[in-house]
Amino acid sequence: MRKLLIAGNWKMHMLNHEAVGLARQLKVKLLGAHRVDVLVCPPFTALTAVAEILSDSDLHLGAQNLHDMRCGAYTGEVSGEMIRSAGGSWVLIGHSERRQLFGDSDAWTNRKLHAALEAGLRPVLCVGETLAERQAGRLDAVLARQLEAGLAGLSPAAAGTLTLAYEPVWAIGTGVVATPAQAQEAHAVVRRIVGGLLGSEVAASRQILYGGSVKPDNARQLLEQPDIDGALVGGASLKADEFSAIVLAGEGVVK
């Protein structure tokens, strides 16, 4: 049975004192939430401060990106080892904003995945189609391309800490959300493709999160779908009440 995971991507928000305040609120509000795993991904600048707040809690801490090299003359970049030294144990890879705004190619995303695993981080590999790709009937093809390239060189044994996230680009930050049926269809496609690449056992055991304007009022319907194992939450993760409500919605889902 796959345990639900609710992850909050704070993106480029939160000064350190704001991040600490949010972490403290979540720590209190989610004290009794044990049926769902919770992950928060602050900006790099707040990792250490948030790590200190969450050190005696069950909440997990991750970063939003990493470079594929361990060290070197890469001004402005952060390695997996640096994330771990700051207290993080998870990392988002291939988020659509990284792909669209910063040129993260499928090949670079794959190198980052391997770098994360080598650093002992738990990667969350993000995939998803644009509105134009969906309207052109290319959902399966786009997901296959991203997964085949993103998981290249990964053995079934090494996939034990892998989490996947399906995020339709057209639903991120737009207020538009895929219907539960649309989300389930895409998640089933992701699981089928992963099964072809890494085997049915890996595909059946890996969590696949849905990301795209998840809010308290739609969370439960999405999380009840058989192939949706959690949520990658953007805007709502910046508000303790909203994010906690999404987590608690997950607590009420039995799979």
Of the candidates 67, 97, 129, 167, the residue annotated as catalytic is 167
**Nearest to 92, CA basis, from 63, 49, 135, 133:** 63
Q: How far is CA 2 from CA 78, 133, 227, 235, 248, in A?
A: 31, 30, 10, 25, 17
Q: In the chain, count of helices (H) and strands (E)?
A: 11, 8
Amino acid in the structure at residue 108: W
Residue that has been written with the tokens 């939003």 in this structure: 64
Of the candidates 67, 95, 129, 187, the residue annotated as catalytic is 95
Q: Is 95 a catalytic residue?
A: yes
Q: Is 201 a catalytic residue?
A: no
DSSP annotation string for 19-37: HHHHHHHHHHHTTT--SSE
d(CA 29, CA 162): 28
Contact assessment for residue 188 and residue 147, using Cβ atoms and an 8 Å cutoff: no
Catalytic site positions? 95, 167
